[in-house]
Amino acid sequence: MSDIQHPDGARAQLLNAAQTGDWAARVLPQLADWSAARESAVLILFGVLDSIPARTVDAAVARDLDVLLQRRASTLSSHPGQVSFPGGGRDAGDRDVVDTALREAEEETGLDPTGVEVLATLPEIPLAISNHRVTPVLGWWTTPSKVAAVDHAETVEVFRVPVAQLLDPATRFRSVTSRGPLSFKGPAFDVDGTIIWGFTAMVLDRLFDACGWTVPWDETDERSVTN
């Protein structure tokens, strides 16, 4: 099926998921004071790979559908070294969270925001560890532009990951992190040694479920991850 499925079909599925998906909050550490948390946004940008499609035997989506990710610098105080979506805190000059997501993505990856079609914004998600309330902005890359890490003090790597590879059951596992006496578990992905976990993995997992793309995977496979 994936050999003949046109990647634009994913655009319609993403739109439908944003409009009809169950976005009720799952168990997440809540913010102590929502009004005191910084308003932020991330860009979840889907497009069509420029180069090699995913190497999967059976894919739930077209093999050349991809999503844009980046790796944060290890010197940052918040989520150091982790894989993330482009994004950040809302500035005073931003018109709205969409403006925030596109501005941050341009500053971090060098992408041309005029080539991005904004499909929808998803409900805010609390990110208690850094005291942010984050709005995911769902985008479709109508005209892909060259991307690379712009400021290496913040971002060390920018890359495009085939969605089919993320959906591959062999890629998926459940991360386990500990903070003091508390232990947290969540979805995670091992993409050729690059570990995607935490907020980014949780949002991808929710989105894949809402789109109907998720392929059954071994949720009993638990592995410890660290910052």
Tens of each residue's pLDDT in the chain, 227 residues? 344 456 678 999 999 999 988 776 565 667 667 677 788 999 999 998 776 667 765 677 888 899 999 987 655 545 556 899 999 999 999 999 999 999 999 999 999 999 999 999 999 888 767 777 899 999 999 999 999 999 877 788 899 999 999 999 999 999 998 777 777 889 999 999 999 998 899 999 999 999 999 999 999 999 999 76
- Whole-model pTM: value is 0.89
**Residue 2, pLDDT score:** 40
Query: Cβ(158)–Cβ(148) under 8 Å?
Result: yes
- Of 152, 200, 221, the closest CA to residue 45 belongs to 200
* Whole-number Å distance between alpha carbons of 45 and 163: 11
* Whole-number Å distance between alpha carbons of 159 and 51: 12
Torsion of CA 176, 101, 152, 130, to 10 degrees: -40
**Residue 1, pLDDT score:** 38
* Whole-number Å distance between alpha carbons of 4 and 145: 25
Question: How would you label 178-191 residue by residue, b for 16+ Cβ within 10 Å and e otherwise?
Answer: eeeeeeeebbbbbb
**Residue 153, pLDDT score:** 73
**Residue 4, pLDDT score:** 45
DSSP state of 215: P
Sheet strands (E) in the chain: 38-48, 65-72, 83-84, 87-89, 116-121, 125-127, 132-141, 155-162, 172-179, 182-191, 194-196, 222-224
Query: Cβ(128)–Cβ(164) under 8 Å?
Result: no
* Whole-number Å distance between alpha carbons of 25 and 95: 26
* Whole-number Å distance between alpha carbons of 32 and 24: 19
- φ, ψ of residue 65 in degrees (nearest 5): -75, 135
197 CB burial (10 A radius; 0-12, 13-18, 19+): buried
**Residue 125, pLDDT score:** 85
**Residue 37, pLDDT score:** 74
